[in-house]
Amino acid sequence: MLKTQEKMLMNLYDTFMTAKRLVVMTGAGVSAESGIATFRGDQDSYWSRFDPYQLASAEGFIEAPQRVWDWYQWRRSQVGAAQPNAAHYGLAELAQSVPLFLITQNVDGLHHRAGSQQVCELHGRLMMNRCFNPSCGYREDAIDFSAPLITCPRCQSAYLRPDVVWFGESLSASSIQQSEAATTECDVFVSIGTSAQVYPAAGFAQIAAASGAQLIEINPEATALTSQVDWVIAEPAGKVFEGLRS
């Protein structure tokens, strides 16, 4: 059993080290071992406890901005107290040795905090605010997230909102262009800790496969992508990277 595990880690290490262009895409599962809930799955996941369209859509914000703010302030306090885990650190170290393009759907900033210098953050940043009116363009750091807000913050134009991408909203054109270019050119694509249900991110693996890349998935559970990949590592990401780093 131990031998199988060691062999798997050696193969993975070799695959990473010999990749000419490596693309890694992470989702909520990469932060699970930092104590941050995932969106889908077990009873602690966000969408099994809360309605995504009430909390993560513009319509939900217009209907009840305070409800949305309360939820995001709570999540900010959780993320503020969390630490990156071995997977975040391992990916930051890997980028020192191989050409790695890191795409994340996560808004928690843990890849940056672990030392990753370049991270394509598809769904925005939890610790920033921006004006709800897109033509205003005002942005600011979210500094006070230790306590619930009594009233929703505003700029001169409208309510502020978290600088994240909600359902039905477009991702930034540059993040999509960069991700599509990197996935088209990579020879190894690794999907870590994502259920691969949310588009356009869920389509990047197919783009990589169409260009001939090897697909690897690191996820303890089967996902929408599992049947299409070349190699499944059905283990928690932190455990895999802890093994790679030791």
Q: How many residues bind ligand BJW (CB under 6 A)?
A: 36
193 assigned binding-site residue: yes
Rounded-to-integer distance, Cα 243 and Cα 64, Å: 45
Angle at 189 between CA 227 and CA 165, to 5 degrees: 90
Binding mask 86-105 for ligand BJW (x = CB under 6 A): -------------------x
| Residue labelled with tokens 């932060």 | 31
> Segment 134-173, which members bind ligand BJW (CB under 6 A)?
164-170
Binding mask 45-74 for ligand BJW (x = CB under 6 A): x----------x------------------
Least distance from C-beta 46 to ligand BJW, angstroms?
8
Q: Which of 221, 230, 234, 245 binds ligand BJW (CB under 6 A)?
A: 221
Query: Is 236 a binder of ligand BJW (CB under 6 A)?
Result: yes
Rounded-to-integer distance, Cα 162 and Cα 145, Å: 12
End-to-end CA separation in angstroms for the chain? 18
Cis link prior to 200 (omega < 30° from 0)? yes
Pick 41 or 153: Cβ nearer ligand BJW: 41
Phi/psi region, residue 35 (left: phi>0; alpha: psi -120 to 50; beta: rest), is left
- Both tokens assigned to 131: 């004006």
Query: Is 125 a binder of ligand BJW (CB under 6 A)?
Result: no
Give me the phi and psi of 38, to 5 degrees please.
-85, 175
Pick 59 or 169: Cβ nearer ligand BJW: 169
At 24, is the secondary structure helix, strand, or coil?
strand
Rounded-to-integer distance, Cα 220 and Cα 27, Å: 13
Give me the phi and psi of 25, to 5 degrees please.
-115, 125
Q: Is 111 a catalytic residue?
A: no
- Both tokens assigned to 32: 């699970």
Least distance from C-beta 30 to ligand BJW, angstroms?
6
Q: Name the amino acid, one letter, at 33.
A: E
Query: Is 123 a binder of ligand BJW (CB under 6 A)?
Result: yes
Q: Which of 5, 197, 211, 230 binds ligand BJW (CB under 6 A)?
A: 197
Residues in the site for ligand BJW, rule: CB under 6 A?
A: 27-29, 32-33, 38-41, 45, 56, 105, 107, 123, 164-170, 193-195, 197-200, 218-221, 223, 236-238
Binding residues: 72, 75, 105-108, 131, 136, 152, 155, 193-195, 219-221, 237
Binding residues for substrate: 72, 75
Task: Report, as residue numbers or ranges, the catalytic residues.
Answer: 123
